[in-house]
Amino acid sequence: MRVPLSWLREYVRVDATAAEIARRLVVSSLEVDRVIDVGVADAGDNLSFLRVGKVVVADKHPNADKLQLCQVDVGEGEPRQIVCGAWNFGVGATVAVGLPGVLLPGFAAPLDERPLRGELSRGMILAEDEIGLGTDHAGIMLLSDSIEPGTPLADVLPVREQVLDVTPTMNRADLLSMVGLAREVATLCDGELIPVAVVDPPILHPQWVEVTVESPEACPRYLARVLSNVTVGPSPMWLRARLHAAGMRSISNVVDVTNYVMHVYGSPLHAFDRAALAGGRIAVRHARAGEEVQTLDGTLRRVDERDLLITDGERPVALAAIMGGANSEVSDTTTEVLLEAANFEPIGILKTSERLGLRTEGSNRWEKGVDPYLAEPAAVLASRLIVDLAGAELSGSADVHGGLPDRPVISLRPERTDRIVGLEVAPAEQREILERLGFDVTDGWDVTVPTWRARDVTREIDLVEEVARVVLDRVPHTMPLRRSVAGHLTRDQRLRRLVEDVLVGAGFSEAYTWSLVASDPDPNAIRLPDPMSGDQAILRTTLLDGLIAAASENVDAGNDGIALFELARVYLPVDGKLPEERWRVGGIVAGGFAAARGAVEVLHDALHLDFRPVRTTLPFLHPGKAAATDAGWLGELHPALLDGAWGVFELDLVELTAPIPERILYDDVITFPPLRQDIAVVVAEEVEAAALVDAAIEAGAPELREARVFDVYRGDQVGEGHKSVAIHLSLQVPDRTLSDEDATVVRERVVAALVERFDADLRG
């Protein structure tokens, strides 16, 4: 909401500047997005060049058909000659005049005296847009004839304005009003509240106003007033200027009054052309299925049983609390107005507004919950203004409600405030804060909540907050006093960090990919009933698709050395329960199977795990380059999924880390050094390295500690369908140094086993 300060100051007397007010509000009340300067610059004596003038002569310019040549009294004794292009005034009009020397907004230099078509013009008769009071440039501003010529314009119009652009939190509908903000400013800046001074117009010729409310739970109060003999026309300049500064467009005196009063009290109003209401009647009810209402923006809207309507008993005349109906809109020909000052419950309004995608100044307030007591002062002020500005007569009033809510009474312990805030605030100060905010506090600290806070302040803690927010900038910075401290990462958390760090050390960069995907290999994967898009419809059960997309993104970017991993959750469906959220680590790396295997191998090594992959087939992997482990899979990505040779893997963190030994026991490999031997055997192509190593270890036990394949050779010397596998043997026992004779015996055992099991042929 835009808050013109000159308007706000009508309700609070305070010395603070705009910047000081904004500082206090921003800490203790609501967001102030910015402070905007509008209108004519208040520098030097600039404002003194703006005067009220009276036109004493208005003739056609002798040399130009489109110009008037005027003599204007600006209180100097002698009138000034001014050339003017507008024709919406004549002799006797009271106008706004800019004298030579004034710097107007949007102009590079001050106004000077100069001849226009041969006639000297010693000033400028102003249109509202020329001094930032509006957007109208159809004619010059016409002021009330009661203002004396020569009066400084700044005394009668907000030619210089500062506007706070504020956004209250959703619990503070009361701050969407001048009166509510004035109360905050008075509390925070030691100001004095000025009550709205208004006298309700008398009802001289009463008439019956029929109002029925069929849905009191949605519309707890409906106050209707009838104003007769209304003359709809433009609003006076002061009203147009205020609405403009508050960011609203002037429409007509009657509509402008409803908007003005909404800004004053925060309780929205609506004006109907009563002649358009059947029987001049109002009936509030929920819509019927399939019913339609044409709102005054011209849109035909289909509503249903959840939406609240204002009707005249025969047809809808407004979408309650959100927008009036086109059929009952106030127009130039309206002579009788039914003024609605009602109260609506927030939730229904919010839902209708969301459903229809229609938000208005009115719905924005109703959906936050407006004080039902405000309907009456709003109706009084609006009636007064319509009577004064549109020559109307108040002729009827009805107020339908089933009793207004009582003000809550809450007991406050002032020491409780101190205990929660961590700052001592003297009880007298707490009392003063609450009272300034409109709370009544008894000697025994029973606190009665004002009607405009009754929804929001219902408990002692809410009162504590009222005090806390006012003293917030005095709250010190302390740390909790701890009796015990136990900060630590769990085993799983530490291991996740380790996995990340090992992969980073191995050259992989971490990727973050979306948990919501377009498709998933698991047909039972959880599908969102109402996803944002088809690309984000399913909770993934594998990280692979995201990683392929991430690699592809990098290929397109022309990056080299692509190696990516992700450590994130997948969501495994469980019948009738929340899904099982499992941590997985997945990777994709240029370089095919070997690159993936290398990464998974180093990961196992870092975690002190045996790595024993076995051949497998998976639809997304190269059929000859795919392996399974206890924790997942690794392999070469099927080339149909992404061009090039890509190593990929995905391992379940729980499965992967479960076998990690709790502690590692020392093994003496230092006292008696190992004896090393290499052998090479020729075996059939299909014999796997792991089988050879397993057989060697089994046959070489206990002296053989380690057997490791270090070379595989294929070629003419070993023949078609065969390969030569070189194995490094390391022999060691804990209690003595082995001799060459020992080694020969073990080696013979190993070779014999390989010959027998794999038909191996010892080379060399």
Partner 1 sequence: MVRSPGMDAEALEREGLAAAAAASSTDAIEGVRVEYLGRKSAIKQALREVRDRETGMALNAVRQRLEEAIDGREAELARADLDARLTTERVDVTLPAGGYERGRLHLITQIRREVEDVFLGLGYRAVDGREVEQTRYNFDALNFPPGHPARSPLATLFVNDDTVLRTETSPSQIRTMEAQQPPVYIVSLGRTYRRDTPDATHSPIFHQVEGLAVDEGITLADLTGTLDFLLKKLFGEERRTEFRTHYFPFTEPSIEAYVSCHICDGAGCPVCRHSGWIEVGGAGMVDPKLFEFVGYDPERYSGFAFGWGLERIAMLRHEFPDLRELWRNDLRFSRQF
Neighbours of 437 (CB within 10 A): 23
Using rule CB under 8 A, residue 581 touches partner 1? yes
**Hey, what are 61's tokens?**
């310019």
- In angstroms, rounded to a whole number, what is the distance separating the alpha carbons of residues 636 and 631? 17
Of the residues 44, 505, 673, 702, which one makes contact with partner 1 according to CB under 8 A: 505
Of the residues 43, 204, 557, 640, which one makes contact with partner 1 according to CB under 8 A: 557
Using rule CB under 8 A, residue 654 touches partner 1? no
- In angstroms, rounded to a whole number, what is the distance separating the alpha carbons of residues 709 and 760? 15
- In angstroms, rounded to a whole number, what is the distance separating the alpha carbons of residues 98 and 132? 13
Of the residues 57, 275, 326, 420, which one makes contact with partner 1 according to CB under 8 A: 420
Three-state secondary structure call for residue 127:
coil
CB of 309 vs partner 1, minimal distance in Å: 20
Based on CB atoms, which residue is closest to partner 1, 249 or 306? 306
Using rule CB under 8 A, residue 114 touches partner 1? no
Using rule CB under 8 A, residue 503 touches partner 1? yes
Choices 57-65, 100-108, 489-497, 602-610; region in contact with partner 1 by CB under 8 A: 489-497
Site for partner 1 in 210-249 (CB under 8 A): none
Based on CB atoms, which residue is closest to partner 1, 496 or 763? 496
CB of 86 vs partner 1, minimal distance in Å: 38
Of the residues 18, 47, 550, 682, which one makes contact with partner 1 according to CB under 8 A: 550
Parallel, antiparallel or unpaired: strands 509-510 and 563-572: parallel
CB of 27 vs partner 1, minimal distance in Å: 5
Of the residues 126, 511, 600, 753, which one makes contact with partner 1 according to CB under 8 A: 511
Site for partner 1 in 354-393 (CB under 8 A): 354
CA torsion 352-353-358-359 (nearest 10°) is: 160
- In angstroms, rounded to a whole number, what is the distance separating the alpha carbons of residues 455 and 487? 40
Based on CB atoms, which residue is closest to partner 1, 46 or 554? 554
- In angstroms, rounded to a whole number, what is the distance separating the alpha carbons of residues 679 and 729? 8
Based on CB atoms, which residue is closest to partner 1, 203 or 594? 594
CB of 358 vs partner 1, minimal distance in Å: 13
- In angstroms, rounded to a whole number, what is the distance separating the alpha carbons of residues 175 and 182? 9
Which letter, b or e, does each residue of 633-655 get, where b requires 16 or more Cβ atoms within 10 Å of its Cβ? Answer: bbbbbbeeebeebbbbbbbbbee
Of the residues 86, 404, 461, 689, which one makes contact with partner 1 according to CB under 8 A: 461
Of the residues 282, 564, 681, 699, which one makes contact with partner 1 according to CB under 8 A: 564
- In angstroms, rounded to a whole number, what is the distance separating the alpha carbons of residues 299 and 319? 12
Site for partner 1 in 14-43 (CB under 8 A): 26-31, 34
Q: Cβ(194)–Cβ(13) under 8 Å?
A: yes
Choices 258-266, 393-401, 559-567, 632-640; region in contact with partner 1 by CB under 8 A: 559-567
Residue whose pair of structure tokens reads 């500062």 in the numeric block: 162
Based on CB atoms, which residue is closest to partner 1, 297 or 581? 581
Based on CB atoms, which residue is closest to partner 1, 28 or 383? 28
Q: Cβ(467)–Cβ(422) under 8 Å?
A: no
Using rule CB under 8 A, residue 351 touches partner 1? yes
**Hey, what are 709's tokens?**
């394949």
What is the side-by-side order of every strand in the sheet holding 31-39?
Answer: 2-4, 160-167, 31-39
- Helices 460-470/18-28 angle, 10° precision: 150
What is the side-by-side order of every strand in the sheet holding 270-273?
Answer: 270-273, 337-343, 221-228, 393-401
Site for partner 1 in 622-651 (CB under 8 A): none
Using rule CB under 8 A, residue 405 touches partner 1? no
Based on CB atoms, which residue is closest to partner 1, 25 or 82? 25
Based on CB atoms, which residue is closest to partner 1, 36 or 203? 36
Of the residues 118, 531, 644, 673, which one makes contact with partner 1 according to CB under 8 A: 531
Of the residues 15, 202, 490, 741, which one makes contact with partner 1 according to CB under 8 A: 490
Using rule CB under 8 A, residue 481 touches partner 1? yes
Of the residues 114, 137, 459, 491, which one makes contact with partner 1 according to CB under 8 A: 459
Choices 95-103, 403-411, 474-482, 671-679; region in contact with partner 1 by CB under 8 A: 474-482
**Hey, what are 25's tokens?**
């509000």
- In angstroms, rounded to a whole number, what is the distance separating the alpha carbons of residues 445 and 222? 35
Site for partner 1 in 286-345 (CB under 8 A): none
Using rule CB under 8 A, residue 175 touches partner 1? no
**DSSP per position, 306-373:** TSEEEE-SSSEEEETTTEEBGGGB--TT---EEEEEEE--HHHHHHHHHHHT---HHHHHHTT---GG
273 - beta bridge partners? Answer: 337
Three-state secondary structure call for residue 707:
strand
Of the residues 200, 210, 291, 500, which one makes contact with partner 1 according to CB under 8 A: 500
Choices 238-246, 331-339, 346-354, 378-386; region in contact with partner 1 by CB under 8 A: 346-354
Of the residues 288, 497, 708, 736, which one makes contact with partner 1 according to CB under 8 A: 497
Going by the DSSP 8-state scheme, the letter that residue 222 receives in this structure is E
CB of 24 vs partner 1, minimal distance in Å: 11
What stretch of H or E contains 284? strand 282-286
What is the 3-state secondary structure of 210-243? CEEECCCCCCCEEEEEEEECCCCCCCCHHHHHHH
Whole-angstrom Cα Rg for the chain: 42
Using rule CB under 8 A, residue 559 touches partner 1? yes
CB of 353 vs partner 1, minimal distance in Å: 10
Which are the contacts of 164, defined by CB distance < 8 A and separation ≥ 6? Answer: 2, 3, 5, 8, 18, 21, 22, 25, 32, 35, 36
- In angstroms, rounded to a whole number, what is the distance separating the alpha carbons of residues 165 and 187? 20
556 - beta bridge partners? Answer: none
Of the residues 488, 668, 686, 740, which one makes contact with partner 1 according to CB under 8 A: 488
- In angstroms, rounded to a whole number, what is the distance separating the alpha carbons of residues 580 and 523? 16
Of the residues 563, 626, 656, 696, which one makes contact with partner 1 according to CB under 8 A: 563
CB of 518 vs partner 1, minimal distance in Å: 14
Of the residues 493, 617, 671, 717, which one makes contact with partner 1 according to CB under 8 A: 493
CB of 111 vs partner 1, minimal distance in Å: 31
**Hey, what are 197's tokens?**
């001074």
Using rule CB under 8 A, residue 146 touches partner 1? no
Based on CB atoms, which residue is closest to partner 1, 109 or 485? 485
Based on CB atoms, which residue is closest to partner 1, 438 or 579? 579
Based on CB atoms, which residue is closest to partner 1, 228 or 360? 360
Choices 309-317, 431-439, 531-539, 753-761; region in contact with partner 1 by CB under 8 A: 531-539
CA torsion 752-755-761-764 (nearest 10°) is: -10
CB of 293 vs partner 1, minimal distance in Å: 22
Q: Cβ(395)–Cβ(442) under 8 Å?
A: no
Based on CB atoms, which residue is closest to partner 1, 257 or 506? 506
How many chain residues are in contact with partner 1, going by CB under 8 A? Answer: 88
Q: Where are the beta strands (DSSP E) in 507-620?
A: 509-510, 516-517, 538-539, 563-572, 580-590, 614-615
Peptide bond into 702 cis (omega under 30): yes
Using rule CB under 8 A, residue 528 touches partner 1? yes
Using rule CB under 8 A, residue 464 touches partner 1? yes
CB of 26 vs partner 1, minimal distance in Å: 6
Using rule CB under 8 A, residue 260 touches partner 1? no
Based on CB atoms, which residue is closest to partner 1, 654 or 701? 654
- In angstroms, rounded to a whole number, what is the distance separating the alpha carbons of residues 124 and 102? 10
Q: How many helices (H) and strands (E) does the chain have?
A: 18, 40
